[in-house]
Amino acid sequence: MALRLRSTKTGKIRFASHRDIAKVWERTLRVSRVPLVYSQGFSPRPKISYGLALPTGAESDCEYIDIQVDDSDRELIIVGDICSSLNSNLPPGIKINGASIMNGKFPSLQQTVTSCVWDITVNEDDTKVDSWIDRINSANEIVLRRERKGKEIVDDIKPQVYLVRKNYERIDGRVTLQAELGTQPRSLRPSELLRSLEPYLSEYKLRRKKQIVEEGARRLDPLEVAGATPMRSLVGAL
C-alpha cells in the first residue's frame, strides 16, 4: 500500500538539509514500527520517495513524502495510527498534517507538482520592495544567469513566475512577499527570484505555504490528485 503524507518543517529543524530529513524519516519509520517495503539486491533500501527539495533554512507547511507500506501479512492498516505514532517520534517541528492512500500507479511528487507558493520575508523596506514587485510584474522577460557545471546558463524565468505580491502580514516586523513559482521542468527557487532583478532583495526568512498540482483547470493539493484517497477525518485528529 502506498501512503502520501504531508508535514510541516518549522523552527530549529529548518536548518536540517533535505538529505538529513530523508534519513530522519527512514529512522522514524523504523522506530514507529511502520512495516516498509524494501528494494531487492545487496543493499536493500526502503521504498520511500521524497518530494521537491526545500532549501536548508526554509520553513514549510507542506512537505510531502510517499511511502510503500508492507500490508502483505496484515488485514488492516490504520493510517491514523501510523500518523500519530510517527508524530510522536518525529523531531520537534516536523508534524504530519495530512495523509492520503494512493491507489494504483501514480506519478512521483517531483513529476506532479506544478508550482509552489512561498512566503518570502526580506530585509528591505516597503519602498524598495514595492518598486521591485512592480518591475517584476511589468517585465516581459526576466533574465536569470546561473552557473551549472562551470557553464553559464541564461534563462527567461518570467513564465515560471505565476504571482508576486506583497503580504499584508509582516514577519518579525519585516516585509513579506508572497510568490507562486513554477516547478516544471525545473523548480524556480525563491533565492533566484530575489536576485533576478537589480537591486536585489535579500532573504530573511522563507516558508513554503503550498504545493500545487494543476489538473486541467483544477488546482489541487498533492493529497487530492486523481487516484488519491484523502484521509480527511485525520486532519482534526493530528
| Site residue total, other proteins (CB under 8 A) | 27
Answer whether 53's CB lies under 8 Å from 3's CB. no
Answer whether 122's CB lies under 8 Å from 178's CB. no
SS3 label, residue 27 = helix
Q: Which residues pair with 180 in a beta bridge?
A: 117, 163
Helical segments of 139-232, H only: 190-194
28 sits near other proteins (criterion: CB under 8 A)? yes
User: In the window 112-131, what residues touch other proteins (CB under 8 A)?
Assistant: none
Amino acid letter for position 168: Y
Closest contact distance (angstroms) between CB of 173 and other proteins is 13
Q: Grid coordinates standing for 190?
A: 525563491
Please return the burial class of 219, using the count of CB atoms within 10 Å of its CB with bins 0-12, 13-18 and 19+.
middle
Helical pair 79-89 and 18-31, crossing angle rounded to 10 deg: 120
Kindly tell me which residue out of 17, 103, 111, 167 binds other proteins, with binding defined by CB under 8 A. 17
Binding mask 35-64 for other proteins (x = CB under 8 A): ---x---xxx-----------xx-------
Answer whether 221's CB lies under 8 Å from 185's CB. no
Kindly tell me which residue out of 4, 7, 8, 30 binds other proteins, with binding defined by CB under 8 A. 30
Kindly tell me which residue out of 22, 24, 139, 220 binds other proteins, with binding defined by CB under 8 A. 24
User: In the window 176-215, what residues touch other proteins (CB under 8 A)?
Assistant: 203-204
Kindly tell me which residue out of 3, 29, 62, 181 binds other proteins, with binding defined by CB under 8 A. 29
230 sits near other proteins (criterion: CB under 8 A)? no
Q: Which residues pair with 155 in a beta bridge?
A: 144
Give the other-Cβ count within 10 Å of 71's Cβ.
Answer: 12
165 sits near other proteins (criterion: CB under 8 A)? no
Kindly tell me which residue out of 84, 85, 91, 97 binds other proteins, with binding defined by CB under 8 A. 91
Closest contact distance (angstroms) between CB of 8 and other proteins is 14
Interface with other proteins (CB under 8 A): 12-13, 15-17, 19-20, 24, 26-31, 33, 38, 42-44, 56-57, 89, 91-93, 203-204
